[in-house]
């Protein structure tokens, strides 16, 4: 009897030890898998991942076939924002994209315009699932212009652009996709899907040079601020626009332009007839030179504090209030939204920016808002002849004439808005 009990104790004890040993070995293996995974994804990744979460993600990844692997080119601007875009990508974004099946080639830009060169020369077969931009709206604009300047334009138009916000301003991805931080951007990219978007072209008529954009084109005070802000890019980062705006406000010049625009048919029920427009007197004393010509073109001439042509409602990602510039604009509505700020003087400019913070700026009597198909802008006299496109300044020579026209649904963004 004693020998039987001894045999039972000997058989039970090893079983308990075996169970405990197996449990500890499995836990150690899990930790080892997670540690190796993190080290492979990024050499600077130090955040600990719960075992159950990492294992579930890895299990989902292992179940995905080769057909689900997405090959993309990542163009990273290391100077975006406060030069934090590199850390943002490698610590917050790269691991999520790798776990969701992305195969990435990361290239850092070395100079202004480098992203355009990369997009215009890359072999599209190496990144058939898109180009991901890490930085601000400027690097996205360079990639867009690089793609639209290629000889194989038909194939380039099919290539979507992904955006990881890490720059001074990321109005495009915040307005169109509802994303204002890198983690949300990585999640949206991992989920997949596409969002079509209109593209507009700004042509310097005298030189025959065309530049493409996705957000907005502007002349006047904002273009002057953009030019001045480049002097403070390295020192102030995103705050350079505030300092440049204050300096330009204190030395505010007068801006005179001739503006021709072609209204979008059926989009402006509040507009007056061409006959009425010919007789209108604007609040700042400028007149409508001609109300309509062939194709119902309308012309405005006089002093303008600013001229803005918006492709979407332009909601800035920075700031507490995040006001909307063009509330009727949509990124895929087949029209552009023109905002004319008539007049001159610091008081009028101050009133506009205060009203803009509360989205009341369109109620001001000196602000004109109209949906258009095309716009032509000509500086008059000594007015600054630069034109801003998506945060990039195009510098003309002499009396430059700019023409802004729409290319409906010619762009595609990676990801979808959470509410779609």
Are residues 155 and 136 part of one domain? yes
291, 220, 296, 299: which is closest to 252 by C-alpha?
220
Are residues 259 and 141 part of one domain? no
Hey, how many other C-beta atoms are within 10 angstroms of the C-beta on 348? Answer: 19
Are residues 218 and 155 part of one domain? no
User: Is residue 287 within 8 Å of residue 300, measured between CB atoms?
Assistant: no
| Of 134, 164, 192, the domain-final residue | 192
Q: Mind listing the pLDDT tens digit for each residue in 334-369?
A: 999 999 999 999 999 999 999 998 999 999 999 999
The dihedral built from the CA positions of residue 129, 131, 136 and 142, taken in this order, carries a sign that is negative
Mean pLDDT of the chain: 79
How far from chain centre, in Å, is Cα 169? 8
Are residues 249 and 127 part of one domain? no
> d(Cα 68, Cα 263) in Å, to the nearest integer?
45
**For residue 2, is pLDDT > 50?**
no
pLDDT tier for residue 278 given thresholds of 50, 70 and 90: very low
Q: Mind listing the pLDDT tens digit for each residue in 110-150?
A: 998 999 999 999 999 999 999 999 988 889 999 999 999 99
373, 376, 362: which is closest to 313 by C-alpha?
362
- For the chain, the domain total comes to 2
Q: Mind listing the pLDDT tens digit for each residue in 229-262?
A: 888 877 776 678 888 889 999 999 999 999 999 9
Are residues 230 and 136 part of one domain? no
**Residue 187 CB partners (closer than 8 Å, separation 6+):** 96
Ranked by mean pLDDT, the top range of 79-83, 241-245, 319-323 is 241-245
Hey, how many other C-beta atoms are within 10 angstroms of the C-beta on 320? Answer: 6
Run of H or E residues at 228: helix 221-229
The percent of residues above 90 in pLDDT, for the chain, comes to: 53
Of 172 and 318, the one with more pLDDT = 172
> d(Cα 358, Cα 279) in Å, to the nearest integer?
32
Are residues 81 and 219 part of one domain? no
342 assigned to some structural domain:
yes
- Position 76 scores a pLDDT of 94
User: Is residue 316 within 8 Å of residue 323, measured between CB atoms?
Assistant: yes
Supply 152's token pair.
Answer: 């194989």
> d(Cα 391, Cα 216) in Å, to the nearest integer?
8
Please list the active-site residues: 137
- Position 271 scores a pLDDT of 42
Are residues 253 and 158 part of one domain? no
- Position 69 scores a pLDDT of 86
Q: Which domain holds residue 312?
A: 203-266+296-410
Are residues 188 and 219 part of one domain? no
> d(Cα 376, Cα 389) in Å, to the nearest integer?
14
Average confidence (pLDDT) over 273-297: 44
Supply 188's token pair.
Answer: 């949206």
CATH number of the domain within which 311 lies: 2.60.200.40
Supply 329's token pair.
Answer: 């604009």
Are residues 142 and 226 part of one domain? no
CATH number of the domain within which 167 lies: 3.40.50.10330
Are residues 342 and 396 part of one domain? yes
**For residue 199, is pLDDT > 80?**
yes
Are residues 262 and 176 part of one domain? no
Are residues 209 and 188 part of one domain? no
The percent of residues above 70 in pLDDT, for the chain, comes to: 75
**Looking up tokens 């504090």, which residue turns up?**
305
User: Is residue 176 within 8 Å of residue 413, measured between CB atoms?
Assistant: yes
419 assigned to some structural domain:
no
């Amino acid at each position: 009897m004693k020998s039987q009990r001894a045999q039972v104790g000997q058989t039970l004890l090893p079983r308990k030890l075996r169970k405990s040993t197996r449990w500890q070995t499995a836990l150690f293996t899990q930790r080892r898998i997670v540690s190796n995974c993190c080290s492979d994804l990024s050499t600077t990744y130090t955040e600990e991942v719960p075992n159950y979460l990492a294992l579930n993600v890895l299990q989902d990844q292992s179940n995905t076939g080769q057909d689900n692997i997405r090959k993309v080119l990542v163009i990273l601007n290391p100077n975006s924002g406060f030069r934090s875009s590199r850390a943002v990508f490698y610590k917050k974004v790269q691991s999520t994209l790798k776990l969701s099946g992305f195969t990435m080639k990361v290239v850092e830009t070395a100079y202004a315009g480098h992203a355009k060169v990369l997009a215009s020369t890359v072999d599209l077969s190496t990144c058939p699932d898109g180009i991901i931009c890490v930085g601000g709206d400027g690097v996205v604009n360079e990639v867009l212009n690089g793609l639209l300047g290629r000889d194989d334009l038909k194939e380039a138009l099919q290539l979507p652009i992904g955006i990881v916000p890490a720059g001074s301003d990321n109005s495009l991805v915040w307005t169109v996709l509802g994303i204002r931080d890198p983690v949300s951007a990585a999640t949206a990219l991992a989920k997949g899907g596409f969002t079509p978007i209109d593209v507009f072209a700004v042509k310097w008529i005298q030189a025959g040079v065309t530049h493409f954009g996705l957000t907005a084109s502007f002349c006047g005070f904002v273009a002057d601020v953009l030019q001045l802000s480049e002097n403070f890019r390295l020192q102030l980062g995103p705050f350079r626009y505030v300092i440049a705006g204050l300096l330009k406000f204190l030395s505010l010049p007068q801006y005179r332009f001739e503006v021709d625009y072609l209204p979008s048919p059926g989009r402006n029920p509040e507009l007056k007839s061409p006959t009425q427009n010919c007789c209108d007197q604007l609040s700042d004393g400028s007149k409508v030179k001609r109300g309509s010509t062939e194709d119902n073109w309308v012309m405005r001439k006089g002093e303008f504090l600013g001229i803005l042509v918006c492709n979407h409602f332009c909601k800035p990602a920075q700031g507490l209030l995040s006001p909307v510039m063009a509330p009727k604009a949509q990124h895929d509505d087949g029209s552009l939204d023109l905002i004319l700020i008539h007049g001159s003087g610091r008081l009028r400019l101050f009133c506009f920016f205060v009203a803009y913070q509360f989205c009341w700026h369109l109620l001001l009597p000196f602000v004109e808002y109209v949906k258009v198909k095309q716009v032509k802008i000509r500086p008059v006299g000594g007015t600054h002849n630069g034109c801003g496109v998506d945060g990039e300044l195009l510098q003309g020579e002499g009396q430059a004439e700019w023409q802004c026209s729409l290319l409906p649904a010619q762009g595609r963004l990676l990801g979808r808005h959470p509410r779609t």
